[in-house]
Amino acid sequence: MLAFGHMKLTKTHIASILVLLFLAITFLGGSAIWSVLGLADDLTIEGTADVVRSDAGDIGTNWAEYGGDKGGNRYVAASTINKNNVQQLEIAWTHKSGTLKGRSEDALSRAALQTTPILIESSLVYCTQFNEVIALDPGTGKEKWRYDPKVPTDTRPGNQYTCRGVSYWKDTKAGENARCAARLFTGTVDARIIALDARTGQPCENFGEKGTKHIQSSISLRWPGEFQITSAPAIVGDTVVTGTSISDNLRTDAPKGTVFAFDARTGETKWTFDPLSGSPNIRGGHSNVWTTIAVDEARGLVFLPTSSASPDYYGGNRPGDNRYANSVVALNGETGMVTWHFQSVHHDVWDYDLPAQPGLYQVWRDGKAHDVVAQVTKTGLIFVLDRETGKPFLPIEERRVPQGGVKGEPLSPTQPFPVNTPPIVPNKLDPNNAFGITLWDKLACKSKLESLRAEGLYTPPSLNGTLAYPFTGGGANWGSAAFDPQRNLLVINMNNAASHITVHQAAEDREQVNEISHDDEFAPMEGAPYSMTRAITLSPLGLPCAAPPWGVLAGINLDSGKIVWRQTLGTTEDLAGGLALKFGTPSLGGPMITAGGLTFIGATMDDYLRAFETATGKELWKGRLPAGGQATPMSYVWKGRQYVVIAAGGHARAGTKLGDDIVAFALPE
């Protein structure tokens, strides 16, 4: 099934209906069908990203961080693999962790392999779905060591059993060969930060309690999985910084979303930061940092991408803009004090939290490099800020947005919009352009859309149902963007799907709500006067009412803000029994760029790693994966040979094939 949260679209529906579409296209002709369905013929915007800088400087010289470097460029300065030979790529080695063996069905139904390995201390190191940390030989994939923190698998985590990466730190005060002079830090599903010797995988016993720092929730948890860590910790100087992932929409009196900073040697707490500290009038609730933090080591700054304040779909208990929520917040890494912040959504009631690592890039303009922060969002908008001040590098303006929320809802009258860059995916859905496999299906979608409140982006939730487009899965998500420093080109994948949100009077109990909304996702929002249901907006035949492409890859010039190209991302092959229609698919995972002029990305719901020409967006190659590639790839050079590596382990809630593979591609020796 296709599922984001608990919003589901079954593969059975997709397979049967897309076969009908294939037959219709075959017998009635493609152009007639496209007209009936309301599909665009071609996404591509004609353009080429020109080279504006002869080299990338010191960017991409290794891959020692989850995002390639601390600023998340996801770029490697290696060009052995390039557009002239990428068709020759083959699997060089595969490593199987074995982590799925013996797991309960419940645990497997919540598992997602989202890791990106790092290359440190002559080892390729990654973490599994269940938080094991494994070191491999970079040239063969042979396992060197493994550490198992033995996380519980009966915790029902709100955000899957997953681990996106580990982080590396070198102790400059320790002897070169001293134990734990080089350390790995990893977060776990049960909210521990663990320090390991990077060369042996043994715990660093002088950190915390015998290598482990337990992070305590601010209040008692309803169940163990309400509070967890999913993303790699950030390292700034000798400080380890981590956020936490908290289940949304359960209650207004939720655990605080505190960001913690620890001494990398001892585990002692250095500072904490509450993203709602700028809003003293908020009663209960949290804003947290669940995705990847970025670091500017030279400036000593950490950049937090913060979430919406809870609960997501009602804000009567949190009047005002909710300062520091839905924001890029630049903190002093040593003290935790705020240097500047930029808010992407004021008083969020749509679950449009910042899902991706802020990108710390150098944009080349008029022969000079400018340090920026680029933030991609669930709304499909991209904000580019000056890294020193937080002021817009590309212009941003406040625009009036729809009003008239439910009783007690103090909406913001305006929201920020980038001026130069249009949305990467649509945020308005005309009922006349509804998607349908048949005229009946299309008209049913049209009728459903007409029944919803839909005034464009930021239409508030309502008692009768509101269209949310893009839906809470994006636009962009945790896979983040990649940046080509030679072309000023940001490459990002985004989802194009709509959902509908309905708030209900709190007096309606769960059974009553389910009777109204059937299989929609339900959230009680305890403490608020409303509960909530949401679901992907589907036709009677089970396909999205928003027209394809359902997945998009785009290249944006960060000097001008202009979209250079857009490309459909993914096919229906693994959703429709081998029928590979180029409709695009929702994606989870991000892109990676190489100096060979290539962008690699998995992420889609068909099991492939793809290579695109970075300058034009043209697809050049795809390699079959043994399971879903819902992760971000990386690349490195080892003993003169360049490898491209991706985790292929699938995503249970997205319905892709589960596995436990790390797959390395390379040119033939």
CATH number of the domain encompassing residue 500: 2.140.10.10
- 238, 296, 351, 559: the active-site residue: 351
More confident position, 76 or 366: 76
Instruction: Name the pairing type of β-strands 591-594 and 75-76.
Output: parallel
Strand ranges (E), 250-333: 259-263, 269-273, 294-296, 301-305, 327-332
DSSP state of 475: S
pLDDT in tens, 478-527: 999 999 999 999 999 999 999 999 999 876 555 565 555 555 788 899 99
Respond yes or no: is residue 519 known to be catalytic.
no
Express as a percent the part of the chain with pLDDT over 90. 81
pLDDT in tens, 589-635: 999 999 999 999 999 999 999 999 999 999 999 999 999 999 999 99
Instruction: Name the pairing type of β-strands 133-136 and 143-147.
Output: antiparallel
Average pLDDT along the chain: 91
Round to whole Å and give the CA distance between 361 and 490: 9
Report CA dihedral (67, 294, 123, 602) to the nearest 10 degrees.
-20
What's the whole-number mean pLDDT along residues 321-326?
97
Residue 13 has pLDDT above 60, yes or no: no
Domain span at 234: 2-666
Contact (CB, 8 A) for 265 and 237: no
Round to whole Å and give the CA distance between 319 and 212: 38
Cis before 311? omega within 30: yes
Round to whole Å and give the CA distance between 212 and 266: 10
**Most distant CA pair in the chain, distance:** 74
Round to whole Å and give the CA distance between 322 and 311: 12
- Helix or strand run (H / E) with residue 600: strand 598-601
Q: Give the model's pLDDT for residue 32.
A: 38
Q: Give the model's pLDDT for residue 543.
A: 87
What's the whole-number mean pLDDT along residues 531-554?
93
What's the whole-number mean pLDDT along residues 289-305?
98
Which long-range contacts does 33-38 make (Cβ < 8 Å, 24+ apart)? 36/436, 36/439, 36/442, 37/435, 37/436, 37/437, 37/442, 37/547, 38/432, 38/433, 38/434, 38/435, 38/442, 38/547
More confident position, 195 or 27: 195
Residue 12 has pLDDT above 70, yes or no: no
More confident position, 434 or 7: 434
Q: Which of 327, 174, 254 is nearest to 525 (CA)?
A: 254
pLDDT in tens, 329-378: 999 999 999 999 999 999 999 999 999 999 999 999 988 999 999 999 99
DSSP state of 83: T
Question: Residue 159's pLDDT band (boundaries 50, 70, 90)?
Answer: confident
Report CA 314 to chain centroid distance, whole Å.
Answer: 24
C-alpha Rg value of the chain to the nearest Å: 23
Residue 651 has pLDDT above 90, yes or no: yes
pLDDT in tens, 192-247: 999 999 999 999 999 999 999 999 998 889 888 899 999 999 999 999 999 999 98
* Total domains present in the chain: 1
Q: Which of 234, 604, 253, 556 is nearest to 380 (CA)?
A: 556
pLDDT in tens, 375-426: 999 999 999 999 999 999 999 999 999 999 999 999 999 999 999 999 999 9
DSSP state of 309: P
- Both tokens of residue 181? 């002079």
Identify residue 465 by its one-letter amino acid code: G
